[in-house]
Amino acid sequence: MSEQPLNPHSTPAEAPDDDAPGTVPVGRPAVGSTASGSTAADALADAAADVTAEETAALRAASFERARRLRQEPRFPGGPAADPAGSHHERRIRSFQPRRSRVTTGQQDALERLWPKWGLDIDGQRVLDLAEMFDGLPVVLEIGFGMGEATAQMAADDPGTGILAVDVHTPGQGNLLGLADRAGSTNVRVANGDAVILLREMLAPESLDGLRVYFPDPWPKARHHKRRLIQPEFLDLVAPVLKPGAVVHCATDWEPYAEQMLEVLTAHPRFANTAADGGYAPRPAFRPLTRFEGQGLDKGHVVHDLLFTRV
């Protein structure tokens, strides 16, 4: 957040807080004041109070700096990094907001045990060898898997397909790793970070057999539409890393976003709609009914699936 300048015409109610660095508490004269009744002892007390205020400000600044460093450090040693591609320093509109909610004991255990084996940070520093990573299986990329229930189910139902699942939500990452482990699925890898950097810098041309984007954040307010993931620029990144014939599968229960997805995908020259009428497709059997989807259906939402092939 940017700092706001102080209003020179502020009312007493708008005046800076007493504890704000560099301010003089209300009702106490500044050092050097010549107010009547002041004594040398008062001046010394004021000077001591000012020193204390400066020390308090320094301690507060140090606390903020420690908090900033903690936000950049991994929550679990050897686990997903807090900001894996921080070296990029990109000023770019993103379609996601990292969330730091509570990690359960089971999720923490899965992160500590399985992240070194099945997890990776999207740092933009290397190109992934998907054939080696997935033992030669065809690989689909899933962007945004939530708590991972649907991803784990698809992996268990189709062990012949590798799933590279990307998200920034640490509890979800741990949950998916735990679900895959309990199901005995070895065809899931969990990627932590920005999918745009993954697509742009870490995937070889024509290395993916599909892309899945299920229930992405709809960013419903008009001023936030630019944050939606499915945009022409995003498809420009996706097309080169998909094999010809690879399927892009999107699903949403937000009607205006579904309309935008259909419009953007239809207009892109590298993608063709699999629906004969050029509209939405029935939900394919391989996509499980997610908890989020069930909540939307309970509210009367209509879920739209879109399936396009890369030409």
Question: Of 129, 217, 253, 277, which residue is the catalytic one?
Answer: 217
> 32 or 203, which is more confident?
203
Contact 119, 190 (CB under 8 A): yes
Amino acid 12: pLDDT = 39
pLDDT above 90: residue 197? yes
Burial of 265 (0-12, 13-18, 19+ CB in 10 A): buried
Per-residue pLDDT reduced to its tens digit, 48-89: 556 677 787 788 877 766 655 544 444 566 678 777 766 554
What are the start-end ranges of the E strands in the chain? 119-121, 139-143, 162-167, 188-192, 208-214, 242-252, 271-273, 304-310
Distance CA 230, CA 250 (A): 9
Per-residue pLDDT reduced to its tens digit, 119-170: 999 999 999 999 999 999 999 999 999 999 999 999 999 999 999 999 999 9
Q: Is 116 helix (H, G, I), strand (E, B) or coil?
A: helix
Residue 252 pLDDT level (bands cut at 50, 70, 90): very high
Contact 102, 147 (CB under 8 A): no
Q: Is 298 a catalytic residue?
A: no
